[in-house]
Structures are given as C-alpha cells and as structure tokens.
Structure 1
Amino acid sequence: MNKSYTKVILSGRLMEVSQQSTPPLVSRKSLGGRKPYGSVDKMIHDTNKKISINRARAEIKRLLECNFPKQYAFLTLTFRPSKEHDITDLEACYKQFCDFKKRLNYYLEKKQLPPFKYIGVTEFQGSGAVHYHFVCDLIKIPLHDLEMLWDFGWINRKVIKSNPTTNKKIIYYLNKGIMDERLTGKKKYLRSHGLKKPLSIIINNLEDFYEHINSCNIKELESGSYHSKLYGEILYHNYYVENVKEIMDYVQGL
C-alpha cells in the first residue's frame, strides 16, 4: 500500500490503527422521491444493514473500553411470565426497563452514588421473551436491593475485571443478538447518557507515529487485512496501551 489514509481510534487502553488506500466517501444527498424496490434496492438495503450492525458492534466495543477500564458488572435482566404485560413485546418491555431506571437512579441519588452507567443489548429467549444484557457500574450495590428494584422478573450479576481477553468474550456475547430480525428498525444497543467517547484522529506521518508508539508500553492484540469494494485493501492493527496518557498527549498534539 504505497499511499494510504491512516486513522487511529483510541478507546481507553484500546488503540485501533487502520490503513486504507482511499479516504472515506462523503455522504451523498438524496435525490428525493420514492423509487421502485428492485434487486438493486435490496442489495443496497442489505449492505446498509450490514454496515449498521458492524458499526454497532464497533461502538459497543469502544464504549466498553472507554468507560469501564478497571472492572464492571455484567448484568442480565429477565422477565417472569405475566398476564399484565406481554414479555415478548419490545416496547412494553422497554417501558418496564425505563421504569426500573427511574427507581434505580432515585435509589442511587439517595445513597449519594453516581447515576446508572451502562451499555446494553436486547435479546430474545427461545420462547420469544425479551431479556437484557448490560455492562454497567452496579458493582457495589447489594444484589438483594437490585432484585427489589427490578421487580419484573429475575436478575443475574457477575463482577468482571476489565482486560483484553475477557472484554473480547463479553463483547462477543453482547453482539450475538443484534442481527435478530425482530430488532430491525429498533436501536441496536442501549446506552446511558454522558458516556466517554473514543478519540479518532487522522495520521499523516505514519513513520513518526510508529516510532513514537513503539517506545511506549503497548501490546499488539491482533492484526490483519481485508478487501473492501469501496476502499480497496484495508490493513488493521489493534493494540492495548498501558500508558494511555502518553499516547493521548501525543495524538492530541498532532
């Protein structure tokens, strides 16, 4: 790859470096009007759907690394069968989740604790019942209190130490349900307000960049390449950084 477009995304200790032969395409304006739905339209629809899913997966990974660098709770909320509520109905279940959040944040405020911080996904059980998985900060709250606050069913919590290997497994677990057709047109994942966002920057001097990061305490997690019809060959390297501040200061100064 002689001349390339290089982007670095920093998400806490996770650093992703990608190189491609052409820069991203700018958004095209709609030509307006309703068009007949044919094979080309279906292909575009399927492509956009795939892009949306891949984007959601990347965002979940980056938000986890940005916001839960040391440890987190992996929380599962399930619904018990009820005559009052249809536990297979996405909107009804989401309303109950919102009610839970209100009670929880009131509880946290009384305990002088920060608001509920989370990234979550919706999944369906074999019966069609909705349940939720969350990476969140509800580590120190007694489980009994959480069970009282979530009174729609059952709750399971596991406290996890944040590290590259475990985080990859948790992210895979969160991502496995977002392709479900029942989520079409719905949010691919749930997130609280105010989460830290990854830093994205374009690298013009690749040689200088690698010279600098090689002097830092970094560990390569994976690397590889793939071909894109839009951008040609794309090379990627993912690293875990111990000295985040040093890398952050460097890229922000570019």
Structure 2
Amino acid sequence: MHDRKMNPTRHLATSLVASLMCLSLAAHAQESANADLDACVKEQQIVLTAKGAGMGALAGLGTALFSKNKDALKNAAIGAVVGGAAGFATAYFTAIDTCYKQNPAWIPESKIERTKAYAQVKKETKYKASEGIKAQATKLAMPATVKAGEALDIASTFIVLTPNGAETPVTLERKLFAIVEGKETPLTFTGKNNEERTVEPGEHQDTARLPIPPDAKAGTQYRYEFGVIAGGKPVSSVTSTVTVQ
C-alpha cells in the first residue's frame, strides 16, 4: 500500500472535529428537573464552543497554510482547543440565557419568603414613618468555595418598611460577574436578572441557585450582587464572592 500524506487543510479539519468531540463530551450542563432545559443548554453550549474553537483554529490557520514549519498544523489544532475551552465557561451562562429566552415557561419561579413581620423589623431598625418607604439589602449568604460542576444556593436578605404598614412594589436586581486573572466580566445570571414584586413590609429572603460551569478552572471567582429598590430611592445592594477550588 502507498503511504499517503494528508493535505494540511484536511488534517486541520480533522483535528478541529476531534477537538470539538472532546469538548462536547465535557459539556455537562448543571442537572435540572427539566430534561428539555438540560438538552437545550447542552446543545447551545456545543454551538457556542464550536464558534470559539473555530476562531482558535483560524488563529493558527495562516501558519499552517503559508509556512513550511512541521509544527504549523499542530499549532493550529492547539489553537482550536484553546479557543474552544476559553469560550466554554462564558458559553455556559450564555446558553442558559438563550434557552430561557426561547422558552420563557422554563424560567423557575423566584423563591422569596417573608422571615420577619413588619412590627419586629420596625422595632429593630427604629424605623419612623417620616423616613418614607425604606428598602435595604442587609445580608448575602453563600459558600466561600465551590467545585466545578456543582451548584450553590445564595440567600439574600432584605427589609422593606412603609409608613402605614401597607405592601409596596419593589425591584430586585441579581447580577453575576466572573473574575479571572484580576479582570471582572459581567455574565448573564440564570433566571431573572431584574424582577418586579409587590411585598408586605418586613424582612424577606430571596433564594437563588447558581450552577458553576463543569469546566470552570480552579481559582476562577464569581461575584454575585443582590440589590433592592423601592420608593424611587437608590438601589441598596450586598455582594459576595465564591472561588472555584
């Protein structure tokens, strides 16, 4: 049999496909009670990762085609893998957001519970009716560390007080940021970023569940910020950071 040499372009395409197959096997979206959502997230992740891998391959394509360097194709293949892997963590949150936008019915209901009555909070804070409507984020509780592929629960506590003890509309803000090598990048928070609710006065707790990408690198940090707005006053917010082990 004749020993045939594969042309550079075909070899690059084969390497790219192999790289994408490996990345696809690692594309485990956080487990969900909704199988359709899981399937959608996995599909969107692969699509977005493929785009990243394609860009990585293009970075080495010029070298592969216009250089006689024997390592040119190898560099191009590495570019594909790096491009795909680098975009995977971002693609994870983008994929969930895309699926929710395509299927609004899949968005989970926010879990907001009243934890203290109006009279108790009024006494504890020495609130006076002359202060008008008061909304304040007071505490944010979440783990300091987490493993890639896990999910963590975030409990945000806030108080709402009104002069006459009547219920009032509030706006809740949920923001997420990734911190890599000291650079902070805003991400799309899974579920509802901004939400309008009408609540009774008192203390309330908002519980959010944050899935961590299965491929998140150790040392990556995620900063979560929760804010509450009411009565036309500036947002009151609390924030905390979790580190991937």
Give the TM bin, normalised by the shorter chain.
under 0.3
TM-score (norm: length of structure 1): 0.22
* Higher Cα radius of gyration: 2
Structure with the greater relative contact order (CA < 8 A, sep ≥ 6): 1 or 2?
Answer: 1
